[in-house]
Amino acid sequence: MRRTLTSLGLLVALAGHAFADDSKVVKSVSLQDLETVLVEEGHTIMSTGDDGAVSVRATDPTTGLIFNLLGVACETEYSDGCLGINMQVRYDADGQETLERINEANLMWAATSAWYSPDGTDGYSPTVGITRYVILDGGMTVRNIKDNLLNLLAIAPQVADYVWQAGDWAPLDVDDELYDDYSADEW
């Protein structure tokens, strides 16, 4: 009897972790599946349901980057779950961004899509977003879903720096140390 109860308890515990096997092929996802992926990768879930029934807002604890996973094409005639995942990092627009730089970012980082919304996702606040859209039709491994998220989280800060000309993309100032090694005659 004890062995039966232990086995049942183990099955129940494993059922809650649908994605414990990264090689598992999935053709759709649920809210619980998205939460499991995030927890397995060490992200902190901030909220669920803010952008639809199958949506999660989370934080990468190492970088502090806030991002969203949104289930897309959910509850269709083809599946009870969502057939796609829209992975997004959103930044508040401040008027310094240009559509030209956003379009250039799309060419430079083709694995993602950069976009601008004058009304933002809340209908009021201008937003610049970086998105990676994953289509699960035909199946994808759980590891590939995790890798797509990893790529988005690596690319989004680079795109933001490019759009706002910060970090590596900041314009060089004549007073920068780089120029200290050269005299005006050497330019």
pLDDT digits (tens, 9 = 90+) for 145-161: 999 999 999 999 999 99
Q: Which of 44-53, 71-80, 98-107, 133-142 has the lowest mean pLDDT?
A: 71-80
Do 38 and 87 contact (CB within 8 A), yes or no?
no
- pLDDT band per the 50, 70, 90 thresholds, residue 102: very high
- What is the layout of strands, in order, in the sheet containing 44-48? 44-48, 55-59, 66-76, 79-92, 127-135, 113-117
> How confident is the model at residue 3, as a pLDDT?
42
> CA end-to-end span of the chain, whole Å?
85
pTM: 0.80
DSSP 178: H
